[in-house]
C-alpha cells in the first residue's frame, strides 16, 4: 500500500497544478480511469503462451481480486482471491459529508484484523497524517507495529513536506518540495533518518508548464536524467534515459489508441539495439473501459488481464461527458490531464 501511496503522490506533484484537496490513495472510479458507474470489477491476471492458454501458476493467477464501488463511485471493498477462494480483504470508510477517505481496514479471510490505516485531514480537507497500525501474526497478533506518514502544505495549498516514520516514531525519510514563481514544482530534497545521503530531483517544464525533464542527484552527483516528449493530448510519446555521466542509455517510444490506452512501449539502447518491446491489445465494453488486455513481449503473448465489470443502472454519468441523444459516453480530448501517470517513485528511479 505504501508503494501505491508514493506512486500517486509523485504523479500528483509533477502535474501542472496540484489540487487543494488531492486524494493521495486511489479510491474513486476516476482514479482508476473508469467511465460510467461501475459497481464491481473482478480483475484477474495470468501468464500465457502462444496458444493463449493459462500457464500453470502456483496460485492459479498472478493477481486476482474484486473491487466494489458505491453509488458515489468510491471504493468500499477490495477482496483478494487465491485459487478461487476468498482471502484477505480491505474495507474503506469515508466521511459522509466530505467523502474523504477516513479508514482502511485489512482483514484475514476469517475476519481477523491485520492492519488499520487512519487518515487525518486539516484545513480545506488537506490530508495531514496517515497512521498505519499492524497486528503481525508473527508477534501473536496482539502486539502493534505503528508507522506514520505526515503531510505539510504551504499557503497556496501545495505540498511542502512529506515524511515517513517507522515503528517507535523513528524518521525514515523526509521529502521537501520547492516551487517556482509560476507555482510549478522545480525540485525536491530527500533526506533519510538512517543515513546521511541527500537526494535532489529537479524538474524542467515547457512554456505550458508540462514536465519535459527530470534529473536525480545523490549527494550532488547526478545518478539519472530523463527527458520527455508529449503529444497534443499531453501523453508521453518519447522518453530518453541518461546515466550518472549524462550518457544516453535508453530511448523509449510510446503509442496509444483513440481512448488513450497504451498500444506499444519500445526502448532501444545506446547502440540503437532493441532492449524492450512490449505491445498491448484491448477488448472494451460500451463505456470504453477495457475488459481484456493482452501484453506481448515482442511477438510472443506474455500476460492476459481481464476485468469483469458490472454497472449501476443509472442513466447518467457523474463527471463524465455524455451524448444525450445516443446515450454514449464521449471523451473530452481537449482537457489537460491532472497527472502524468507514467511516473515512477523517485526511489525506484535512483536505484535503477
Can you give the pLDDT at residue 181?
82
Is residue 280 a contact partner of residue 293, using CB atoms and an 8 Å limit?
yes
Is residue 278 a contact partner of residue 265, using CB atoms and an 8 Å limit?
yes
Structural domains in the chain (count): 1
Give the whole-angstrom CA distance, residue 20 versus residue 113. Answer: 33
pLDDT in single tens digits along all 352 residues of the chain: 444 443 334 443 434 333 333 446 789 999 999 998 999 999 999 998 777 776 655 446 899 999 999 988 999 999 999 988 999 999 999 999 999 999 999 999 999 999 999 999 998 899 999 999 998 765 555 667 789 999 999 999 999 999 999 987 789 999 999 999 888 999 999 999 988 999 999 999 988 889 999 999 999 999 999 999 999 999 999 999 999 999 999 999 999 999 999 999 999 999 999 999 999 999 999 999 999 999 999 999 999 999 999 998 865 544 444 444 444 554 554 444 444 433 334 444 444 4
Query: What does DSSP assign to residue 25?
Result: S
Is residue 121 a contact partner of residue 137, using CB atoms and an 8 Å limit?
no
Max Cα–Cα distance, the chain, nearest Å: 62
H or E element at residue 6? helix 2-13
* Closest residue by Cα to residue 216 from 242, 195, 252, 235: 242
* Closest residue by Cα to residue 163 from 123, 129, 200: 129
Classify residue 54: in a domain, yes or no: yes
Classify residue 47: in a domain, yes or no: yes
Classify residue 270: in a domain, yes or no: no
Give the whole-angstrom CA distance, residue 132 versus residue 115. Answer: 7
Please give the C-alpha separations between residue 104 and each of 64, 114, 128, in angstroms, as whole numbers: 19, 11, 16
In the 3-class helix/strand/coil scheme, how is 59-72 assigned residue by residue? CCCCEEEEEEECCC
Classify residue 324: in a domain, yes or no: yes
Q: Is the pTM of this model over 0.85?
A: no
Classify residue 232: in a domain, yes or no: no
Sign of CA dihedral 41, 45, 50, 53: negative
Classify residue 211: in a domain, yes or no: no
Assign 123 to helix, strand or coil: helix
Give the range of the structural domain holding residue 158, as residue numbers without chain letter.
2-196+287-342
Classify residue 218: in a domain, yes or no: no
β pairing state of 321-323 and 300-311: unpaired
Q: What are phi and psi of 325, to 5 degrees?
A: -80, -50
Classify residue 245: in a domain, yes or no: no
Is residue 26 a contact partner of residue 41, using CB atoms and an 8 Å limit?
no
- The label of the residue with cell 496540484 reads 18
Amino acid at each position: 500500500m505504501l508503494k501505491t501511496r508514493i506512486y500517486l503522490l509523485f504523479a500528483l506533484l509533477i502535474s501542472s497544478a496540484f489540487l487543494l484537496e488531492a486524494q493521495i490513495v486511489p479510491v474513486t472510479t476516476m482514479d482508476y480511469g473508469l467511465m460510467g458507474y461501475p459497481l464491481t470489477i473482478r480483475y484477474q491476471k495470468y501468464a500465457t503462451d502462444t496458444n493463449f492458454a493459462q500457464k500453470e501458476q502456483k496460485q492459479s493467477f498472478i493477481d486476482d481480486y474484486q473491487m466494489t464501488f458505491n453509488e458515489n463511485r468510491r471504493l468500499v471493498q477490495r477482496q483478494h482471491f487465491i485459487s478461487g477462494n476468498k482471502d484477505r480483504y480491505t474495507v474503506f470508510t469515508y466521511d459522509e459529508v466530505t467523502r474523504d477517505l477516513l479508514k482502511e481496514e485489512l482483514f484475514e479471510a476469517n475476519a481477523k484484523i491485520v492492519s488499520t490505516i487512519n487518515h487525518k485531514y486539516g484545513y480545506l480537507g488537506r490530508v495531514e497524517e496517515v497512521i498505519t497500525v499492524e497486528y503481525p501474526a508473527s508477534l501473536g497478533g496482539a502486539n502493534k507495529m505503528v508507522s506514520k506518514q505526515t503531510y505539510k502544505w504551504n499557503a497556496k495549498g501545495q505540498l511542502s513536506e512529506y515524511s515517513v516514520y517507522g515503528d517507535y516514531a523513528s524518521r525514515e525519510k523526509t521529502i521537501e518540495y520547492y516551487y517556482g514563481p509560476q507555482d510549478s514544482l522545480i525540485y525536491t530534497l530527500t533526506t533519510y533518518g538512517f543515513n546521511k545521503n541527500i537526494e535532489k530531483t529537479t524538474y524542467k517544464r515547457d512554456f505550458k508548464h508540462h514536465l519535459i525533464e527530470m534529473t536525480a542527484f545523490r549527494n550532488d552527483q547526478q545518478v539519472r536524467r530523463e527527458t520527455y516528449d508529449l503529444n497534443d493530448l499531453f501523453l508521453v510519446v518519447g522518453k530518453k534515459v541518461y546515466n550518472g555521466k549524462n550518457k544516453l542509455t535508453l530511448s523509449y517510444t510510446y503509442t496509444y489508441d483513440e481512448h488513450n490506452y497504451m498500444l506499444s512501449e519500445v526502448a532501444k539502447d545506446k547502440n540503437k539495439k532493441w532492449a524492450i518491446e512490449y505491445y498491448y491489445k484491448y477488448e472494451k465494453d460500451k463505456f470504453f473501459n477495457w475488459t481484456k488486455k493482452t501484453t506481448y513481449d515482442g511477438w510472443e503473448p506474455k500476460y492476459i488481464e481481464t476485468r469483469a465489470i458490472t454497472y449501476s443502472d443509472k442513466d447518467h454519468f457523474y463527471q463524465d461527458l455524455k451524448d444525450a441523444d445516443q446515450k454514449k459516453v464521449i471523451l473530452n480530448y481537449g482537457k489537460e490531464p491532472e497527472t502524468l501517470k507514467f511516473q515512477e517513485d523517485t526511489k525506484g528511479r535512483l536505484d535503477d
